[in-house]
């Protein structure tokens, strides 16, 4: 048996053996000292600093018992909660428009150097990669006016560019997620696809298939009618196109947390889609407004600085995505852990 409870200061989910109920212990994340509740009970208020026994590792590890040779020794039978997993339990939370901007700006101000270094590096490498993998071969094929080479450039270049960009997305999310959590981040992490790379690629393919299905369903009536009655078919086709774009916009909002769930939790692809849908219930409009304002603000800053502003806009937006994810899953961000 084990007791699970949350730290009253930072919200971290902790776990310890039921024989430790009533003892004092310290949260390994924020250092708050509290009394371990009874099994099934809620976490009580923290006790004054200096009393209690420290946690260690990822879970609530009270140090030994009275009379132990080492009062700070952890029980040998204890297994930390979430060993090898991301910290914190997922608690669906309603997004707050102003809170997201405040959190992102607070973290960006303190970590602007690392954010700029990571954002600019990722942007440059991504552009170069797409040019080399797709546009380069395509332009070469176009210069030769060879239909076979142009077809080959498209058939091979598009998948290659997709895989490369997805690989970079994984690294960018891992890099800025670490910063959003207040952890150390290295630029080299931008190029560490890791075990999450393949699931993210599969999720991207599923996104593409969903998009193709949506457009097929929305456009097919107009296409079929156009063959028989062009006067009616053309406006029906345009209407279908509008409906398809609106539907895809809603779908993108609904499943906006899929990549982050896969990367942060190593969650299976289908489960990540289901959980993202649950997390976004009641949050889609707020998320839309957040990205709309952030996008417009970034565009204005880029224009008035003659393009230089993009060097700050890209890292800021890249940081905002994991801040949104941590907020919507009820996990603390860097400025809350101080």
Q: Which DSSP string do the residues of 140-163 spell out, in sequence order?
A: HHHHHT-HHHHHHHHHHHHHHHHH
- At residue 162, the pLDDT reads 87
Higher-pLDDT residue of 203 and 145 is 203
Name the nearest CA neighbour of 16 among 35, 34, 32, 1: 1
Decide if pLDDT at 260 tops 60.
yes
Asked if residue 33 lies in contact with residue 47, where contact means CB atoms within 8 angstroms, the answer is yes
- At residue 142, the pLDDT reads 75
Helices (H) and strands (E) in the chain, counts: 10, 5
Decide if pLDDT at 81 tops 60.
no
Q: Which DSSP string do the residues of 259-317 spell out, in sequence order?
A: HHHHHHH---HHHHHHHHHHHTTTTHHHHHHHHHHHHHHHHHHHHHTTTTTHHHHHHHH
* Placement of tokens 């909660």 in the chain: 81
3-state helix, strand, coil in the chain (%, to 5): 65, 5, 30
- At residue 153, the pLDDT reads 72
The mean pLDDT of 84-105, rounded to a whole number, is 82
Q: For residue 77, name the pLDDT band (cuts at 50, 70, 90).
A: very low
Most confident stretch, 35-49, 68-82, 179-193, 240-254: 240-254
The mean pLDDT of 309-317, rounded to a whole number, is 93
Decide if pLDDT at 270 tops 80.
yes
Residue 74 has what DSSP assignment? Answer: P
The mean pLDDT of 128-141, rounded to a whole number, is 79
- At residue 54, the pLDDT reads 42
Asked if residue 222 lies in contact with residue 240, where contact means CB atoms within 8 angstroms, the answer is yes
Asked if residue 52 lies in contact with residue 26, where contact means CB atoms within 8 angstroms, the answer is yes
The domain segmentation of the chain, as residue ranges, is: 1-89, 97-337
* Placement of tokens 């279908």 in the chain: 240
* 277 CA to centre of own chain: 14
Q: For residue 135, name the pLDDT band (cuts at 50, 70, 90).
A: confident
Higher-pLDDT residue of 248 and 37 is 248
- At residue 38, the pLDDT reads 78
Q: For residue 87, name the pLDDT band (cuts at 50, 70, 90).
A: low
Q: What mean pLDDT, rounded, does the chain reach?
A: 81
Decide if pLDDT at 56 tops 70.
no
Higher-pLDDT residue of 318 and 22 is 318
Asked if residue 10 lies in contact with residue 55, where contact means CB atoms within 8 angstroms, the answer is no
- At residue 35, the pLDDT reads 79
- At residue 31, the pLDDT reads 64
- At residue 23, the pLDDT reads 75
The tokens describing 1, both together, are 């048996």
The mean pLDDT of 77-95, rounded to a whole number, is 57
Decide if pLDDT at 89 tops 80.
no
Distance CA 322, CA 173 (A): 7
β-pairing, 53-54 with 2-6? unpaired
* Placement of tokens 């999450």 in the chain: 196
Decide if pLDDT at 146 tops 60.
yes
Asked if residue 294 lies in contact with residue 317, where contact means CB atoms within 8 angstroms, the answer is yes
pTM for this entry? 0.70
- At residue 211, the pLDDT reads 94
- At residue 55, the pLDDT reads 43
- Residues 291-323 as b/e (b if ≥16 CB within 10 A, e otherwise) read beebeeebeeebeeeeeebbebbbbbbbbbbbb
Higher-pLDDT residue of 19 and 166 is 166
- At residue 40, the pLDDT reads 60
Outline where DSSP puts E strands in the chain.
2-6, 13-17, 24-26, 33-35, 53-54
Asked if residue 155 lies in contact with residue 143, where contact means CB atoms within 8 angstroms, the answer is no
- At residue 72, the pLDDT reads 35
Decide if pLDDT at 278 tops 60.
yes
Distance CA 46, CA 72 (A): 19
């Amino acid at each position: 048996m084990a007791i699970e409870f949350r730290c009253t200061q930072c919200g971290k989910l902790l776990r310890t053996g039921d024989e430790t109920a009533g003892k004092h212990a310290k949260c390994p994340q924020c250092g708050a000292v509290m009394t371990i509740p009874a099994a099934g009970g809620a976490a009580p208020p923290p006790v004054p600093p200096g009393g209690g026994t420290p946690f260690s590792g990822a879970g609530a590890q009270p140090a030994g018992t009275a009379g132990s040779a080492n009062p700070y020794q952890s029980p040998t039978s204890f297994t930390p909660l979430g060993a090898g997993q991301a910290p914190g339990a997922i608690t669906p939370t309603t997004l707050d428009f102003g809170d997201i901007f405040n959190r992102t700006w607070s973290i960006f101000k303190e970590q602007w150097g690392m954010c700029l270094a990571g954002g600019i590096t990722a942007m440059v490498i991504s552009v170069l990669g797409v040019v080399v993998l797709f546009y380069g071969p395509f332009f070469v094929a176009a210069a030769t006016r060879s239909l076979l080479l142009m077809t080959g450039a498209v058939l091979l270049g598009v998948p290659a560019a997709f895989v490369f960009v997805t690989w970079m997305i994984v690294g960018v999310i891992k890099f800025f997620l670490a910063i959003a959590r207040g952890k150390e981040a290295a630029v080299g992490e931008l190029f560490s696809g890791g075990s999450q790379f393949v699931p993210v690629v599969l999720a991207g393919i599923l996104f593409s298939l969903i998009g193709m299905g949506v457009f097929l369903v929305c456009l097919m009536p107009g296409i079929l009618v156009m063959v028989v009655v062009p006067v009616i078919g053309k406006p029906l086709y345009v209407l279908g196109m509008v409906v398809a774009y609106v539907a895809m916009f809603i779908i993108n909002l609904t499943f906006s947390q899929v990549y982050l769930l896969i990367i942060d939790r190593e969650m299976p692809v289908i489960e990540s889609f289901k959980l993202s849908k649950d997390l976004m219930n009641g949050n889609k409009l707020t998320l839309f407004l957040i990205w709309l304002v952030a996008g417009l603000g970034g565009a204005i800053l880029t224009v008035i600085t003659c393009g230089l502003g993009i060097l700050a806009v890209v890292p800021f937006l890249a940081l905002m995505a994991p801040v949104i994810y941590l907020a919507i899953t009820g996990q603390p961000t860097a400025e809350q852990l101080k």
